[in-house]
Structure 1
Amino acid sequence: MKPTSPYALAQAECADIGVPAAEAQQHALLCERAVRKASIRLLPVLLLGYIFSYLDRINVGFAALTMNHDLGLTPAQFGWGAGLFFLSYAVCEVPSNLALHRFGARLWLSRIMVTWGLLSAATAFVAGPHSFYALRLVLGVAEAGFFPGVAFYLTSWFPRAYRVRVLAWFTLGIPLASVIGGPLSGGLLSIDAFMGLSGWQWLFIAQGLPAAVLGIWAWAALSDSPRDATWLSSEERGALARQLESEVTAGGTRSFRAAVTDPRVLLLTVALFTLSIGITGIGMWLPQIIRREGLGMFQTGMLSTIPYACAGLAMVVAARRMDKGRNYAASLTMSSAVAAAGFMVSAVSESVSVALVGITIAMIGVNIARTALWAIPPTFLSGAAAAGGIAFINAVANCAGFAGPAMVGVVKEMTGSFTAGLVTLAIALAMTAGLAIALGRVARKRAQPA
């Protein structure tokens, strides 16, 4: 029978790393103990960091409700300022991750959190379009590399038997941020001239400064690798390091130049782009889709949390199954197809309730698909190739931050409804499923698991 638990998998793999059979049980026990300690120590600060990172992405949209009037920003000026963040973020993502590989994750991730937190809070004091442009541009530079940096960092700490569920717990930050972001931002916006500052200014301060504090926590909590972790016993450090070193893919891609020309990386890049069209498209337009039958603001806000809450739960459950099967390309194919079907259900329904069910199915699908996709690069990339390749995939896919919402908006303007826009998102997810099938075939030809 094929082993399924991480403990059993670690025992089964001992033969591959030269551990005598008599020592296999002890080795697996030490690895499991080390992973448990690492999860408790590392994941809370990284999860909270991702929550505030996502809040930092969406808070400018809430702030615009009153900020644009106070600063005299036109819709075009606000759009340019909001978009400049994604531009500088995408451009600096690969250099940031290569710097993380060189200087160490502890220093670099802490630096990212502190600088983006301070700059985000400083957005409260912009005085017009030019200062808004400048701060958004610099904010993108500061925050660049956080997600791919953490994704790479987790591969240096957690063996593959645990990796997908760890990624799922980390990416749970998006559903959690989406659930709490609306009510939190709405409450902060209601503040009226407290200490001489408007609600939108308090929004940036209250959601920015905690990230800087998290950066200090990260400096205290993180260790660059298991061998640097004084909070593990020497036996635990040795067992975990040995397990991780044994899993570096023999003959895998190790240079950044080779990584960005690898067909698997290129397929993953396009797949994440089409997947992100669905993620960002539905995320930006979900409240308006729910409100199309005249629901109130409070009802809309509460209903919009349902898809994210269901997606977060489903993602954690699915990750455990993916860790056992390890057929990540197949999981990416199936979950993308489910998401496409969910978008179609929402598109053809005239009932808000049925449409919400469809959107919930789609949200579950895209979140599971994202977790499956990010489990694939470490199966054939390592070292600088993993750091740069993961950042490259994410940087290109960030362009979907423009494409997804824009596509839905343009189609709605042309047709007068969300139906065609949701069909467009379904097509994008169907393309993701097709790319995942192609990825699986390429991986099998290269005899590399995916």
Structure 2
Amino acid sequence: MSSPPTTALRDTLGELDRRNLRRLMPLLLAAYIMSFLDRTNIGLAKERLEVDLGISAAAYGLGAGLFFLTYAASEIPSNLIMHRVGARWWITRIMLTWGVISACMAFVQGEKSFYAMRLLLGAAEAGLLPGILLYFTYWFRSGTRARAIGLLLLGASIASVLGNPLGGLLLEMDGIGGWHGWQWMFVIEGLPCVLLAFVVFKYLPDGPATAPWLTAKEAALVSEAAAREQEEGAKAAGTSSGTLLTVLRDKQMLIAIFANWTHQVALYSVVYFLPGIIGGWGHLSPFTVGLLTSLPWVTAAIGAVLVPPRATTPRRSRNFVVTGLLMMFAGLLVATVAGPVIALLGFCFTGLAFFVVQPLLFNFPGTRLAGRTLAGGLALLNTVGITGGFVGPYVMGWAEESTGNHLAGLWISVVLLALGAAAATRLRFSAKDEGTAGS
């Protein structure tokens, strides 16, 4: 094992980390904000699609979820391709195709075309998040990477805080140019992704070696520090080489995958159905619904900023994951049984943990995998998790159609979050602590 870095080297790496964060995060954050706008768009469009196209709640839930099937199926191949061809080309390709398809959602005619476009959109967008997560492993060690992931996921909160009221306003363009408001919303919020793709292609380096703001010596230091930490963690965990089967045989990775899946079921149940739930509380304008829907994402942003940087030890990381899942459990439980005002507070309490749990779990593979196995492991974690994006909306739509109650499907999320929290108590964020009680 290599000797620990000297104080001077640690200071140098710390300064390089800060410089790289400043250079990389604005562009990557913008890309992720654009990707999450689609999630807010389709949630806001739910009621209008039912009225204008006759798409039922169950069909909407199925269509919303189908996105995640092709997304999940394409993630691992996408990450392996990016590992080979480079981040700049591949992230540009992802953004171009998903931006065009997202805008073309404006031309959906009924349930079949809705299903087809959602499947295409999932395949087009697949790979963005796991690709960026893999990209971070080229640049950052574990502590800085957790901070970077937290900042990235903050983009989901920003997209929802801004996108829900903006989407509500765009829905009020109904009738302009003979188009429905939801058609304008998809086009106006889809095409900027295409423009941003060209900015990514011009300014995003494939890795430290091609970063114009680093000297050759600095780039080598960054790459060597990240690679050394990954190799040491992988050796300690016994996963220094292997395939996806290596990941599947790793009990700790399976626990992380399950915990992430329960989190994603709950998250996307809220993302796609909260506007409809709020809209059912009274005669509210689309803008008001969008504004109220954005409130849990304000608390999500607070949680994303305050908590992940404090996960400075393996024990804290695990405890924050468990606590976050229990907070989501408690908040959704309150939301299912309370009146509108208290229910909204419950959703806001749930939102506090949205992006506390996720960045810590996304950081987990980098503590025990390396190289090609890390690329596949990250994609597998997100792939299985994102199938929760199919299960959550599908169950919510089916439950609403069966009971007439917008909230009925949340009970599934409540139960799963309890199971996820129980499983997460067994997580060990350091291979040295495996099998050690209370680590």
The aligned runs of 1:76-225 (5 Å cut-off) are 81-126=63-108, 131-192=113-174, 194=176, 197-225=179-207
Structure 1 SS opposite 2:139? coil
Q: Distance in 1 between matches of 2:410 and 2:120?
A: 34
Question: What amino acid sits opposite 2:32 in the alignment?
Answer: Y
Measured after TM superposition, the shift of residue 215 of structure 1 is 1.4
1:400 pairs with 368, 388, 394, which one? 388
Taking structure 1 as reference, are residues 129 and 363 closer, same or farther at Cα in structure 2, changes over 3 Å only? closer
Give the Cα separation in 1 of the matches to 2:56 and 2:226. Answer: 52
What is aligned with 2:266?
278
Cα 1:111–1:410 change in 2 (3 A) is: closer
Q: Secondary structure at the match of 1:440?
A: coil
What is the number of residues matched between the two proteins?
430
* 1:14-61 deviation per Cα after TM superposition (whole angstroms, max 9, x unaligned): x95465x4xx32x23332232222212211121111111111234234
Match of 1:431 in 2: 419
**1:168-205 CA deviation, whole Å, 9 max, x = no partner?**
11001111111122222222222255556543332222
2:296 is aligned to 307
Q: Secondary structure at the match of 1:296?
A: coil
C-alpha distance in 2 between matches for 1:302 and 1:81:
25
Q: Is the 8 A contact 1:34 1:237 kept in 2?
A: no
The residue that corresponds to 1:329 in the other structure is: 318
Instruction: State the TM-score, normalized to the length of structure 2.
Output: 0.87
Q: Quick one: distance in 1 between partners of 2:316 and 2:268?
A: 26
Q: Report the AA paired with residue 145 of structure 1.
A: G
Counterpart of 2:219, as a letter, is: R
Unaligned runs of 5+ in 1: 1-14
SS for the counterpart of 2:294 is helix
CA deviation after TM superposition for structure 1 residue 423, in Å = 4.2
Identity in percent: 36
1:236 to 190, 212, 218: 218
Change (3 A) 1:418 1:117: closer
Relative to structure 1, the CA distance from residue 222 to residue 412 in structure 2 (aligned partners, 3 Å threshold; closer, same or farther) is same
Between the aligned partners of 2:62 and 2:409, the Cα distance in structure 1 is: 23
67-76 or 284-293: which moved more? 67-76
Name the CA distance, whole Å, in 1 between partners of 2:191 and 2:35: 12
TM-score, length of structure 1 as denominator length: 0.85
Matched to 1:255, the amino acid is: G
Contact 1:289 1:418 in 2 (8 A): yes
1:434 is paired with a residue of what secondary structure? helix
Pair 1:195–1:283, CA change in 2 (3 A): closer
- Contact between 1:311 and 1:363, CA under 8 Å: does it hold in 2? yes
Structure 1 stretch displaced more, 279-288 or 314-323: 279-288
- SS of equivalent to 1:439: coil
* Cα pair distance change 1:412/1:121, threshold 3 Å: closer
Is contact 1:269–1:393 with CA below 8 Å preserved after alignment? yes
* Mapped partners of 1:242, 1:366: distance in 2: 33
CA contact (8 A) 2:277 2:407 kept: no
The one-letter code matched in structure 2 to 1:369 is: V
